[in-house]
Structure 1
Amino acid sequence: MSPPAPPTATAFGDTDETAVAGPLGLEMIYRNERHALVRFITRYRSNPEEAGDVAQEAFLRLAQSEQARSEPIARPRAFLRQVARNLLRDRAKSTRGRAELLQVPFDEAAISVADEVSRLEARDSLARIEAVMRRMKPKTREIFMAHRLDGLSYGEIAERTGMSVSGVEKQIARAMTMLLRHADKD
């Protein structure tokens, strides 16, 4: 039996993940995903050292989880990112708790942990939506934005573009399909 093929880049910049499958698979995932995971974490934290620590801990949790399972983790990249999000959330909670214990006064209104997590998730979702919008054909993107952002009706868009209303509907449906298919992928 031959070893699993290394991940390959897809058109969307993600890797074609294979399951972890033992120490060699874990090493390969570490080599292939470490820098991307640190960049992912750094988007949420300005301190690169902390991002490196969180990434290291995420890989440790991946290894521990792999040992505890009878089957390999099917999507290790997604697993690592979710663990990183959870670790960031936990660190935000513990930092907030330590500040309260030390009775450190906050000059600015403290952002609750739930608000911080919501902000991070919204930022991540927006980045995925923007990436999908950039992959749309210009005509599809223009029609979709005219309808969704400018509030134009299908008839108004059809008049402006010289298309039929049915053609506009098809372009909107194409855009929605792309967004629904790709926006939730991680």
Structure 2
Amino acid sequence: MNRPNGHISREFFDGLYSEYKPRFVRIAQSYIRNEMAAEDIVTDSFLYFWEHRGELDITASVPAYILGAVKHGCLEWLRNQKNRLKIRQKIHTTAYQGIQARISALEACDPGQLFAAEVAAIVQEEIGKMPEPMREIFVASRFDGKTYQEIADMTGISVRNVKAAIQRALGIMREALKDYLPAWIAVLFISALPF
């Protein structure tokens, strides 16, 4: 089947294509494991040969030359697949690491502590907003453990006014914490907070 490349007739090429294409597709498919891609590589190899037949310097047989082109096409396809897999693997690794980090963070998270911290922040904020006599009375009662009488002696106001200030402060706290705790738990929680 050796012929000068420029003198290959269409009839000769069609015979070559019919005879060798099925064999070459099987060979390509055995390496790349993709029937459609194998068909494309073999067809492209035959077309390249036909379109460049006058320019090619073929020392072996024409089928051997085309099979070499098929081999190179398969190598290129496999290298591209390998690169795609590497990229996918990096993407999956990055995604996996991100998910793993979120799982670890969530497993380490104690919702009770988050909830308590949020409530404590609201309590501190509300105490900071109270007018001075009410704040001093509320802190002395709830966080310093002082009795109404001790607070009255300390501030110079009556026990009745101390009780009224504490009731107003507790009302403010119940309102601020209504979305977090039932009212009776809010009062207990406020007295247990460390300030």
Query: TM-score normalized by structure 2?
Result: 0.39
TM-score (norm 1): 0.41
Greater C-alpha radius of gyration: 2
